[in-house]
Amino acid sequence: MGYFFGGISGFFWALSGVLYSYLYINYPNFNAIGVVLYILLLSEVFSFLNLSVIFFFKSRKLPKLKIKYTIFPFVSGVLGGALGMYTYLMSIQYIGIEYTALLSSSYPAIASVLACIFLKDKLNSFGVIGFFILIISSIMLILPSYQHKDLDYFYFIFVCICSIGWSLEVVLSSYAMKFISSEFVYAIRVLGAISGYFVIILFNKVEIYSLLHLLTARNSSIILFILASGFLSYFYYYKSIGSIGPIRAITMNITYTIWTVIMSCLFLDININLITALCCLGIFIGTYITLSSRKVSL
């Protein structure tokens, strides 16, 4: 079931990204920043409420948790949840879902490198080759963007921040799971994400009217699907990590790039050329080689 959880988490992640892209493309007059922030915050609150119900029926007693171990998933929620997700959706707005999905899927390989730095993990020669394939494929994917006059190369910084944030989330959460169950790691991570979104909202001085105006429109059902898809994706992702380990779970999760390409062609009328398809394959293969070559799991 762990493999199924990992694969279905990738499907729901692709669905949430494509739905958001559809929302942004078809309703460009809304306050994009305000809508993004409140959708993300609502998504995390929705996830926390669902987790609360699950924990209530599963066990009415909270486990004894050591504060020093809860810090790691909390920080991972701030970096991977608030900062990572915010920059992910901003990247969708500025460079498109196809570039964002493909480039952000490099986060597992980056996490492997970060694990080598912070957790004293090791990569063998195959891991280095896999990471090299990943970098080359990413560069080949980005270079054609110079031909698009409406595509500002500067905005690729959003997907870079996103990938780093998600990478740190993987490393910190995986370390915390050595001492805390995956369900509670996810719950603490959600609290960290909620805190991060509140800080971002206060910093940007976003008015709640931007969200209320959107919720009164016909596309309110799309927002509900985005919230549900985001929750299911993260929930099954963490279930997969706890069941089959981070490497196999991440490998199954990054199949969201394939789902994104398929959904983009079907629902967004985005044409995927041969170069993009090859880069997608290169990023997937490079990430898989990097992950599978690691001597110690995250």
Q: Give the Cα separation of 58 and 40 in Å (integer).
A: 27
Among 219, 227, 234, CA closest to 23: 219
The pLDDT of residue 214: 60
Among 160, 165, 181, 176, CA closest to 111: 165
Where do the domains of the chain lie?
2-292
The pLDDT of residue 252: 77
Main-chain dihedrals φ then ψ at residue 123, nearest 5 degrees: -115, 135
Helix (H) or strand (E) holding 208: none
The pLDDT of residue 296: 45
The pLDDT of residue 211: 62
Q: Environment class of residue 29 by beta-carbon count within 10 Å: exposed (0-12), middle (13-18) or buried (19+)?
A: exposed
219 CB-side CA count, 13 A = 19
> What are the E-state strand segments in 16-172?
none
The pLDDT of residue 137: 76
Q: Give the Cα separation of 230 and 186 in Å (integer).
A: 13
Among 55, 5, 67, 6, CA closest to 254: 6
Contact 111, 298 (CB under 8 A): yes
> Residue 193 in 3-state DSSP?
helix
Contact 298, 171 (CB under 8 A): yes
Helix (H) or strand (E) holding 189: helix 182-204
The pLDDT of residue 43: 76
Count, in order, helices (H) and strands (E) of the chain.
14, 0
Q: Mean pLDDT per segment of 10 residues, for the chain of length 298 residues?
A: 84 86 71 70 82 72 71 91 86 80 77 73 71 74 54 79 89 83 83 92 72 64 81 83 73 78 77 73 76 56
Q: Give the Cα separation of 258 and 262 in Å (integer).
A: 6
The pLDDT of residue 192: 93
Among 90, 20, 12, 22, CA closest to 269: 22
The pLDDT of residue 146: 46
Other CB atoms within 10 A of residue 155 CB:
17
User: Which amino acid type is present at position 79?
Assistant: L
